[in-house]
Protein backbone atom coordinates (compact mmCIF):
# COMPACT_ATOMS: atom_id res chain seq x y z
CA UNK A 1 0.00 0.00 0.00
CA UNK A 2 1.46 3.36 -0.98
CA UNK A 3 2.09 6.10 1.52
CA UNK A 4 -0.55 8.27 -0.16
CA UNK A 5 -3.22 5.58 0.13
CA UNK A 6 -2.28 4.87 3.77
CA UNK A 7 -2.52 8.58 4.52
CA UNK A 8 -5.93 8.89 2.91
CA UNK A 9 -7.16 5.83 4.79
CA UNK A 10 -5.99 7.21 8.13
CA UNK A 11 -7.62 10.57 7.36
CA UNK A 12 -10.85 8.82 6.40
CA UNK A 13 -10.91 6.79 9.62
CA UNK A 14 -10.17 9.86 11.68
CA UNK A 15 -12.93 11.74 9.92
CA UNK A 16 -15.39 8.92 10.57
CA UNK A 17 -14.46 8.88 14.25
CA UNK A 18 -14.98 12.64 14.42
CA UNK A 19 -18.42 12.32 12.79
CA UNK A 20 -19.37 9.51 15.18
CA UNK A 21 -18.28 11.59 18.16
CA UNK A 22 -20.16 14.61 16.85
CA UNK A 23 -23.34 12.50 16.50
CA UNK A 24 -23.16 11.37 20.13
CA UNK A 25 -25.62 13.15 22.42
CA UNK A 26 -24.17 15.02 25.41
CA UNK A 27 -24.63 13.28 28.80
CA UNK A 28 -28.18 13.61 30.10
CA UNK A 29 -29.11 13.30 33.78
CA UNK A 30 -32.84 13.00 33.12
CA UNK A 31 -35.54 13.67 30.57
CA UNK A 32 -37.42 16.66 31.89
CA UNK A 33 -37.86 20.11 30.45
CA UNK A 34 -35.13 21.32 32.82
CA UNK A 35 -32.72 18.72 31.46
CA UNK A 36 -33.56 19.10 27.78
CA UNK A 37 -34.79 22.67 27.45
CA UNK A 38 -31.42 24.37 27.71
CA UNK A 39 -30.56 23.02 24.24
CA UNK A 40 -33.97 22.22 22.78
CA UNK A 41 -35.68 25.46 23.74
CA UNK A 42 -37.54 25.79 20.44
CA UNK A 43 -39.36 22.50 21.09
CA UNK A 44 -41.50 24.14 23.79
CA UNK A 45 -42.04 27.48 22.07
CA UNK A 46 -45.17 26.65 20.02
CA UNK A 47 -48.70 27.96 20.48
CA UNK A 48 -50.19 24.44 20.64
CA UNK A 49 -48.10 21.95 22.57
CA UNK A 50 -48.23 18.18 22.73
CA UNK A 51 -49.37 17.29 26.27
CA UNK A 52 -46.16 15.61 27.46
CA UNK A 53 -44.03 18.46 26.06
CA UNK A 54 -46.19 21.06 27.78
CA UNK A 55 -45.76 19.12 31.03
CA UNK A 56 -41.99 18.92 30.54
CA UNK A 57 -42.18 15.13 30.42
CA UNK A 58 -39.80 14.26 27.58
CA UNK A 59 -39.53 10.73 29.02
CA UNK A 60 -43.12 10.04 27.98
CA UNK A 61 -41.82 9.44 24.44
CA UNK A 62 -38.02 9.38 24.69
CA UNK A 63 -35.40 7.17 26.32
CA UNK A 64 -31.74 7.94 26.94
CA UNK A 65 -28.72 5.68 26.64
CA UNK A 66 -25.78 7.31 28.43
CA UNK A 67 -23.27 4.62 27.52
CA UNK A 68 -20.05 6.46 26.48
CA UNK A 69 -19.30 5.98 22.82
CA UNK A 70 -22.93 5.40 21.81
CA UNK A 71 -24.84 7.93 23.87
CA UNK A 72 -28.20 8.43 22.14
CA UNK A 73 -31.69 9.78 22.70
CA UNK A 74 -34.25 7.40 21.23
CA UNK A 75 -38.01 7.04 21.04
CA UNK A 76 -39.94 4.45 23.00
CA UNK A 77 -41.73 1.38 21.62
CA UNK A 78 -39.11 0.96 18.88
CA UNK A 79 -40.57 3.96 17.09
CA UNK A 80 -38.61 5.46 14.21
CA UNK A 81 -38.99 8.56 12.08
CA UNK A 82 -40.65 6.31 9.51
CA UNK A 83 -43.13 4.57 11.82
CA UNK A 84 -44.33 6.03 15.12
CA UNK A 85 -47.65 4.13 15.35
CA UNK A 86 -46.78 1.95 18.35
CA UNK A 87 -45.56 4.95 20.31
CA UNK A 88 -48.45 7.25 19.44
CA UNK A 89 -51.25 4.77 20.11
CA UNK A 90 -49.77 3.85 23.49
CA UNK A 91 -51.50 7.05 24.64
CA UNK A 92 -53.95 7.86 21.84
CA UNK A 93 -56.22 4.85 22.27
CA UNK A 94 -59.04 6.47 20.28
CA UNK A 95 -56.77 6.49 17.23
CA UNK A 96 -55.70 2.90 17.93
CA UNK A 97 -59.31 1.77 17.67
CA UNK A 98 -59.84 3.66 14.42
CA UNK A 99 -56.74 2.12 12.86
CA UNK A 100 -58.59 -1.20 12.83
CA UNK A 101 -60.96 0.21 10.19
CA UNK A 102 -60.78 -1.04 6.61
CA UNK A 103 -59.83 2.27 4.99
CA UNK A 104 -56.88 4.15 6.43
CA UNK A 105 -55.31 7.44 5.38
CA UNK A 106 -52.07 6.55 3.57
CA UNK A 107 -49.70 8.25 6.06
CA UNK A 108 -51.59 6.63 8.93
CA UNK A 109 -51.37 3.19 7.30
CA UNK A 110 -47.61 3.71 6.91
CA UNK A 111 -47.20 4.77 10.55
CA UNK A 112 -46.19 8.29 9.56
CA UNK A 113 -48.16 10.24 12.16
CA UNK A 114 -45.56 12.99 11.89
CA UNK A 115 -46.49 13.58 8.23
CA UNK A 116 -49.42 15.62 9.55
CA UNK A 117 -48.61 16.23 13.23
CA UNK A 118 -45.54 17.72 14.88
CA UNK A 119 -44.80 15.49 17.89
CA UNK A 120 -43.74 18.48 19.99
CA UNK A 121 -46.00 21.34 18.95
CA UNK A 122 -47.02 23.78 16.26
CA UNK A 123 -49.04 26.95 15.80
CA UNK A 124 -52.16 24.97 14.85
CA UNK A 125 -54.69 22.67 16.53
CA UNK A 126 -53.66 19.07 17.07
CA UNK A 127 -50.06 20.12 16.31
CA UNK A 128 -50.88 20.07 12.59
CA UNK A 129 -48.39 21.41 10.07
CA UNK A 130 -51.06 23.80 8.73
CA UNK A 131 -54.50 24.87 9.87
CA UNK A 132 -57.48 22.85 8.65
CA UNK A 133 -57.75 22.27 4.91
CA UNK A 134 -54.36 23.84 4.24
CA UNK A 135 -52.79 20.81 5.87
CA UNK A 136 -54.74 18.44 3.60
CA UNK A 137 -54.10 20.16 0.29
CA UNK A 138 -50.35 20.08 0.86
CA UNK A 139 -50.63 16.53 -0.50
CA UNK A 140 -54.06 16.45 -2.14
CA UNK A 141 -53.37 18.86 -5.01
CA UNK A 142 -56.38 17.64 -7.01
CA UNK A 143 -58.66 18.69 -4.16
CA UNK A 144 -56.96 22.07 -3.96
CA UNK A 145 -57.68 22.53 -7.66
CA UNK A 146 -61.35 21.59 -7.20
CA UNK A 147 -61.75 23.96 -4.24
CA UNK A 148 -60.33 26.78 -6.37
CA UNK A 149 -63.14 26.42 -8.94
CA UNK A 150 -65.95 28.98 -9.20
CA UNK A 151 -68.38 26.74 -7.30
CA UNK A 152 -66.64 25.08 -4.34
CA UNK A 153 -68.78 22.79 -2.20
CA UNK A 154 -69.35 24.82 0.97
CA UNK A 155 -68.66 22.01 3.50
CA UNK A 156 -65.51 20.97 1.60
CA UNK A 157 -64.28 24.55 1.64
CA UNK A 158 -65.04 24.82 5.36
CA UNK A 159 -63.33 21.61 6.50
CA UNK A 160 -62.37 18.29 4.93
CA UNK A 161 -63.06 16.75 8.34
CA UNK A 162 -66.82 17.27 8.01
CA UNK A 163 -67.15 14.37 5.57
CA UNK A 164 -63.82 12.55 6.04
CA UNK A 165 -62.07 11.06 9.04
CA UNK A 166 -58.42 12.10 8.89
CA UNK A 167 -57.21 8.76 10.23
CA UNK A 168 -59.42 5.85 9.17
CA UNK A 169 -63.00 4.76 8.56
CA UNK A 170 -65.10 1.82 7.44
CA UNK A 171 -65.78 3.48 4.08
CA UNK A 172 -63.55 4.40 1.10
CA UNK A 173 -61.77 7.77 1.24
CA UNK A 174 -62.31 7.64 5.02
CA UNK A 175 -65.87 8.86 4.51
CA UNK A 176 -67.92 8.96 7.70
CA UNK A 177 -70.60 6.82 6.03
CA UNK A 178 -71.27 5.41 2.57
CA UNK A 179 -70.92 8.24 0.05
CA UNK A 180 -74.61 8.78 -0.78
CA UNK A 181 -75.55 8.60 2.91
CA UNK A 182 -73.10 11.43 3.58
CA UNK A 183 -74.59 13.52 0.77
CA UNK A 184 -78.23 12.88 1.64
CA UNK A 185 -77.68 13.67 5.31
CA UNK A 186 -77.74 17.32 4.23
CA UNK A 187 -79.35 17.30 0.77
CA UNK A 188 -82.42 15.07 1.17
CA UNK A 189 -85.76 16.88 1.01
CA UNK A 190 -87.53 15.65 4.14
CA UNK A 191 -90.85 15.67 2.27
CA UNK A 192 -89.51 12.74 0.26
CA UNK A 193 -89.70 10.47 3.28
CA UNK A 194 -87.22 7.64 3.59
CA UNK A 195 -84.71 7.12 6.36
CA UNK A 196 -81.60 9.26 6.06
CA UNK A 197 -78.74 9.83 8.46
CA UNK A 198 -79.05 12.73 10.89
CA UNK A 199 -76.54 15.29 9.67
CA UNK A 200 -75.76 16.76 13.07
CA UNK A 201 -75.13 13.33 14.57
CA UNK A 202 -73.06 12.16 11.59
CA UNK A 203 -70.84 15.23 11.43
CA UNK A 204 -70.74 16.23 15.10
CA UNK A 205 -67.22 14.88 15.61
CA UNK A 206 -65.77 17.33 13.10
CA UNK A 207 -66.10 20.24 15.58
CA UNK A 208 -66.34 22.77 12.76
CA UNK A 209 -67.52 26.30 13.45
CA UNK A 210 -70.65 27.10 11.43
CA UNK A 211 -71.64 23.45 10.91
CA UNK A 212 -75.29 24.10 11.75
CA UNK A 213 -75.44 26.89 9.17
CA UNK A 214 -73.92 24.66 6.49
CA UNK A 215 -76.49 21.95 7.19
CA UNK A 216 -79.39 24.41 7.27
CA UNK A 217 -78.49 26.12 3.98
CA UNK A 218 -77.75 22.98 1.94
CA UNK A 219 -79.97 22.74 -1.16
CA UNK A 220 -82.42 19.84 -1.02
CA UNK A 221 -83.33 17.25 -3.66
CA UNK A 222 -86.54 15.23 -3.86
CA UNK A 223 -86.13 11.45 -4.03
CA UNK A 224 -88.44 8.48 -3.72
CA UNK A 225 -88.86 6.78 -0.35
CA UNK A 226 -86.05 4.33 -1.10
CA UNK A 227 -83.66 7.27 -1.59
CA UNK A 228 -82.33 5.54 -4.72
CA UNK A 229 -84.14 7.49 -7.47
CA UNK A 230 -85.74 10.82 -8.28
CA UNK A 231 -82.91 13.19 -9.18
CA UNK A 232 -82.49 15.13 -11.42
CA UNK A 233 -85.83 13.86 -12.81
CA UNK A 234 -88.54 11.51 -11.55
CA UNK A 235 -87.32 7.94 -11.72
CA UNK A 236 -83.71 8.76 -12.49
CA UNK A 237 -81.53 6.45 -10.34
CA UNK A 238 -78.96 7.82 -7.92
CA UNK A 239 -78.02 4.49 -6.35
CA UNK A 240 -78.38 0.74 -6.86
CA UNK A 241 -77.52 0.69 -10.58
CA UNK A 242 -74.30 0.34 -12.54
CA UNK A 243 -72.76 3.68 -13.53
CA UNK A 244 -72.81 3.84 -17.37
CA UNK A 245 -69.80 6.17 -17.41
CA UNK A 246 -67.82 3.98 -14.96
CA UNK A 247 -69.13 0.41 -15.39
CA UNK A 248 -66.99 -0.97 -12.57
CA UNK A 249 -68.72 1.26 -10.04
CA UNK A 250 -72.27 1.80 -8.80
CA UNK A 251 -74.20 4.92 -9.70
CA UNK A 252 -73.91 7.50 -6.93
CA UNK A 253 -74.16 11.25 -6.30
CA UNK A 254 -70.54 11.73 -7.33
CA UNK A 255 -71.24 10.10 -10.71
CA UNK A 256 -72.49 13.52 -11.76
CA UNK A 257 -71.23 15.91 -9.07
CA UNK A 258 -67.76 16.78 -7.83
CA UNK A 259 -68.12 16.83 -4.03
CA UNK A 260 -65.30 19.34 -3.63
CA UNK A 261 -65.84 21.96 -6.32
CA UNK A 262 -66.44 22.53 -10.02
CA UNK A 263 -67.28 25.18 -12.58
CA UNK A 264 -71.06 24.92 -12.48
CA UNK A 265 -73.42 23.42 -9.89
CA UNK A 266 -70.64 21.05 -8.90
CA UNK A 267 -71.11 19.17 -12.20
CA UNK A 268 -68.32 16.82 -13.27
CA UNK A 269 -66.48 16.45 -16.58
CA UNK A 270 -66.35 20.18 -17.19
CA UNK A 271 -70.08 20.29 -17.93
CA UNK A 272 -71.53 23.81 -17.89
CA UNK A 273 -75.14 22.64 -17.74
CA UNK A 274 -77.34 19.59 -17.36
CA UNK A 275 -77.56 18.56 -21.03
CA UNK A 276 -73.79 18.29 -21.67
CA UNK A 277 -73.58 16.07 -18.60
CA UNK A 278 -76.54 13.86 -19.52
CA UNK A 279 -75.26 12.96 -22.98
CA UNK A 280 -72.26 11.23 -21.42
CA UNK A 281 -74.64 8.35 -20.61
CA UNK A 282 -77.80 9.03 -22.63
CA UNK A 283 -78.24 9.05 -26.39
CA UNK A 284 -81.26 10.68 -28.01
Q: Where does the pLDDT of residue 64 fall: very low under 50, low under 70, confident under 90, or very high at 90 and above? A: confident
48 in Cβ contact with 122 (< 8 Å) = yes
Residue 260 has pLDDT above 50, yes or no: yes
95 in Cβ contact with 165 (< 8 Å) = no
Q: Where does the pLDDT of residue 23 fall: very low under 50, low under 70, confident under 90, or very high at 90 and above? A: low
Q: Where does the pLDDT of residue 185 fall: very low under 50, low under 70, confident under 90, or very high at 90 and above? A: very high
| pTM, to two decimals | 0.83
The least confident of 43-47, 51-55, 102-106, 154-158 is 43-47
Q: Give the tens place of pLDDT for each residue, 35-45.
A: 787 888 888 88
Q: Give the tens place of pLDDT for each residue, 95-107.
A: 888 889 999 999 9
What's residue 43's pLDDT?
Answer: 85
What's residue 176's pLDDT?
Answer: 96
Averaged pLDDT score across all residues of the chain: 87
Q: Please write down the HEC assignment for all residues of 183-209.
A: HHHHHECHHHCCCCCCHHHHHHHHCCC
What's residue 9's pLDDT?
Answer: 45
- For the chain, the structural domain boundaries read 22-127, 133-278
The torsion of the CA quartet 121, 123, 129, 133, rounded to 10 degrees, works out to 140
Phi, psi of 172, rounded to the nearest 5 degrees: -55, 150
Amino acid sequence: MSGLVRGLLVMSMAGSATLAAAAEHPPVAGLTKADCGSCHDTVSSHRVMHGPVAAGDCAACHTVDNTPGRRRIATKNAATNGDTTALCVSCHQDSADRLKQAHRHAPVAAGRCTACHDPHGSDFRYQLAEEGNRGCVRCHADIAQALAQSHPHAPAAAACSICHDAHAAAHPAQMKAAANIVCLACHRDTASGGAAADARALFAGSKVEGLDRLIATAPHIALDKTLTAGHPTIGHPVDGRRDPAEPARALRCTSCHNPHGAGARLLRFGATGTSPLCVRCHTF
